[in-house]
Structure 1
């Protein structure tokens, strides 16, 4: 059973393709330790897409941010590029394409997603995030 308390983690990563695997494994451990194993598979997919985009499309460092509050898991990726992400297409429209599926998957598999420009401590960039609600008993497919 998930905890009722709120918590947040940040994992700062270099611009390195291996960061995607490290982020996924770290997220799996965090969610397992907090009793949210029912969210792990979808959360790993979403985190991999968000961090993958940050590493692939930018040249600087990035960060994975994971927050649980009021029964909602927010997964986000910060990167140093202030340019907005491309608007996601419907997943059905890009399912056969080799590229451009990342944010379409995020849109299809999350309850809510968005992005915001950031300027903190002299750093510019953006934060792309998505949210998943706590799993409901008997619900097995979020991407409907």
Structure 2
């Protein structure tokens, strides 16, 4: 008889200032958390995709962001990035099958969301509603890997 241990569940949240070093801090946090929980097999994918979402937040939201890592009971890892900008980009806010627009071959950016849709098992986004003084409460973009 084989005994199977359920995966540990845990969650970490990190508030990131609007700073160009935020993506580096997010990568270091992902690396430390995954190593400490014995989930190094997810490291390259999660580090890349989390860094892309945090970078997009820095470039487009103009304010602080938050990173949340959540280990789910079935072995999956969910990564969420919140920011104060209300727009949910494709492929996060559209029906399944929607694709992020391709970046121009000579463009310096525009590939991060394509990487998420290629390497994550699933992804999505939620609008967090209206905020005070005509400012939205922002959005949460997430992806899952593993399991």
Shorter chain as denominator, the TM-score bin is: 0.7 to 0.9
More strand by share: 1
> Could you tell me which residue of structure 2 aligns to residue 54 of structure 1?
57
Give the structure-2-normalised TM-score.
0.80
Aligned to 2:86, the other structure's residue is in SS state: coil
**2:53 & 2:36 partners in 1: Cα distance?**
22
Shift of 1:8: 0.8
Give the structure-1-normalised TM-score.
0.82
Residues 8 and 41 (structure 1), Cα distance of their counterparts in 2 relative to 1, 3 Å cut: same
Question: What is the RMSD computed on CA atoms of the aligned residues?
Answer: 2.3
Which of 108, 122, 129 is matched with 1:98 structurally?
Answer: 108
1:83-111: CA deviation from partner (whole Å, max 9, x where unpaired) = 11244437xx4483422111000100100
Residues 36 and 86 (structure 1), Cα distance of their counterparts in 2 relative to 1, 3 Å cut: same
> Are 2:92 and 1:89 aligned?
no
Which of 106, 128, 132 is matched with 2:145 structurally?
Answer: 132
Q: How many residues are treated as equivalent by the alignment?
A: 131
Q: Which structure has the greater CA radius of gyration?
A: 2
Task: Return structure 1 stretches of 4+ with deviation > 4 angstroms.
Answer: 119-123
**2:130 & 2:45 partners in 1: Cα distance?**
30
Structure 2: gaps (5+ residues): 92-98
CA contact (8 A) 1:3 1:34 kept: no
Which of 56, 59, 78 is matched with 2:82 structurally?
Answer: 78
CA contact (8 A) 1:6 1:67 kept: yes
**1:120 & 1:82 partners in 2: Cα distance?**
9
Shift of 1:119: 4.2
> Could you tell me which residue of structure 1 aligns to residue 94 of structure 2?
none
> Could you tell me which residue of structure 1 aligns to residue 26 of structure 2?
23
**2:26 & 2:19 partners in 1: Cα distance?**
11
1:54-90: CA deviation from partner (whole Å, max 9, x where unpaired) = 1110111100111010211011110011111244437
> Could you tell me which residue of structure 2 aligns to residue 64 of structure 1?
67
